[in-house]
Structure 1
């Protein structure tokens, strides 16, 4: 049995396959044109936020699971006080933004986005990126039609907005008068007041019978037992909040951060990864998603991280805003 097939495994290198998206940016080989223009600030977005105290905090870990992701080593960072959204930005909030500005997301500009294979309507055929057959490039998939033409968010207005690229999240932030959090801010807020926390609720491992966050149950990518009641996203206020009152900082959807993605290592592999990340202008994503599971993509830990190009979107990418006090 390979380590990534063993439910109790702990690893130090990334598995050959994971639920995360392909590294190559969507724009590779495509004339994407300039990034969308930022809307005018002051959109009057109403969001529940909490104050997070400043101070010197720990970011990353000295016990990395995926070294290739740059989870470690742990480092100390001094932060100013800030505020952060209690919830990820919901479909309802994103719809208000689009209604006020007419903004078109990257998925709409490109004409497609990544959809998990189980969500395709019967008979729908869509190509898969090499190495990740569970992802399909679905024409017409975007935030308001998450599974492609014919799908709707009408019954998911309080679920997190998905198919959101970093460029889209940044545009929403400009309109709403906020900003994307830094990786350090995100981790500090996610820990809920415990600088040593592994998860927002502490150290207890979620599993198929103990649903502490919205992750996969069963055998990825073919069987989800739905023991937590959710096949895809959950409402933004599902599960118990952490010590700061934040919901779903781990699981549900990946959340974009402001930082460029880079690995703090002098190894040859890290140098190569950083060069590729710089070429794609990758940005940090945190928190994992409803597709994560300890047996293959143990990235719903607070220290876990990933990076993708700013025009990348999928059915498990979302965001929340930070705010200066």
Structure 2
């Protein structure tokens, strides 16, 4: 897009942001990539203009918790261009001395609420630091039981995502994983940012495409090119079977491996799931769709609700994760789609969950936007 056209588009976006409290924001014009310069605007972030969109999906690929599609409006905000990386998280730890959830002895009270009533507390020598790791299986299994390919591994943490024998050496530009919701909140406070709401995340992920199946369009592999890091059964075989010869499951890849979406955001789907701010409500979208007034900047339900996890109380604490990961595949979850959503225990780090943040800051000036768009 020519600089003059970009100037007009983003100037309109800035005006809409100023008028936010007077009226609902308009549907944005054709997306323009506007990146922060680190001086007058937030560095490493992209401007997401205010607008309205259809949240959720009525696609035949959509699961019940994604339905129905419903109109939502959000105000403008800045979003990290990529997941927070290992190098960025390492700098946070270096400066603050922060110790992550996975590096601490598990707290029984936070575990107990995820279990059926009456489960006795295990011996203290069982409660050792560690995290959940995808270990895969040696052959095809019943996909209704995810415990067959996940295991709590003592010593697994953000520096050792698969356990004590693993490392992030040489992977500084990969998404940091094995971080809990609590870890993310600590990082966000240090960085002067916050987690996006579920609505903000999906609006940004769609990149200006209304109800497209994927963040890049409706075709999974345009011109035969992969567009995200997910479990490709044609290349990797049946999920969750891992090949010892190949060294186990594929993992994360460096940020910016694949093309960005319409707002300049990389890996909004695939690579690693992303924490968002909201409590997870399996029925939240169906409740939202019944609203009689426009839904503006929704913040999620007041508490979690998930009837789909056997043995876990319906109201056990769960926060939303979005975007899918390197483990998502067509035979199991198909979560490398912008409307896909899931709830996760906020105190349980996992080897395929990371995050990115947003920042509430002024909209870019027309001059900055025009310079960025050239």
**TM-score interval for Structure 1 and Structure 2 normalised by the shorter chain:** 0.7 to 0.9
Q: CA deviation at 1:189?
A: 0.7
Pick closer, same or farther for the CA change 1:235–1:74 going to 2, 3 Å.
Answer: same
Higher helix fraction (1 or 2): 2
Segments of 5+ residues of structure 2 without an aligned counterpart are 1-41, 107-128, 138-144, 288-303, 362-374
Segments of 5+ residues of structure 1 without an aligned counterpart are 1-45, 120-129
> Quick check: 2:230–2:271 contact (8 Å CA) kept in 1?
yes
Q: Tell me how large the CA RMSD over aligned residues is.
A: 2.9
CA distance in 2: counterparts of 1:71 and 1:78, whole angstroms: 17
1:102 maps to 2:138: no
1:243 maps to 2:262: yes
1:196 maps to 2:211: yes
Pick closer, same or farther for the CA change 1:64–1:176 going to 2, 3 Å.
Answer: farther
User: Who is 1:318 aligned against?
Assistant: 354
Aligned residue for 2:171, secondary structure, equals: coil
1:48 maps to 2:66: no
Aligned residue for 1:257, secondary structure, equals: strand
User: Who is 1:162 aligned against?
Assistant: 177
Q: CA deviation at 1:252?
A: 0.3
Q: How many residues align?
A: 264
Pick closer, same or farther for the CA change 1:170–1:272 going to 2, 3 Å.
Answer: closer
Per-residue CA deviation, residues 111-161 of structure 1 (Å, 9 max, x unaligned), is: 011112159xxxxxxxxxx64211121100000111211322111110000
Per-residue CA deviation, residues 226-273 of structure 1 (Å, 9 max, x unaligned), is: x9xx9100011111111111110110000000011012347xxx9762
User: Who is 1:304 aligned against?
Assistant: 340
User: Who is 1:273 aligned against?
Assistant: 307
Correspondence list, 1:49-64, <5 A = 49-63=45-59
Correspondence list, 1:113-262, <5 A = 113-117=131-135, 131-206=146-221, 210-217=225-232, 218-223=237-242, 231-262=250-281
State the TM-score, normalizing by the size of structure 1: 0.74
Q: CA deviation at 1:196?
A: 2.2
CA distance in 2: counterparts of 1:323 and 1:224, whole angstroms: 41
User: Who is 1:8 aligned against?
Assistant: none
CA distance in 1: counterparts of 2:314 and 2:199, whole angstroms: 20
Provide runs of 4+ in structure 1 moved above 6 Å. Answer: 274-278
Pick closer, same or farther for the CA change 1:64–1:282 going to 2, 3 Å.
Answer: farther
Pick closer, same or farther for the CA change 1:307–1:277 going to 2, 3 Å.
Answer: farther
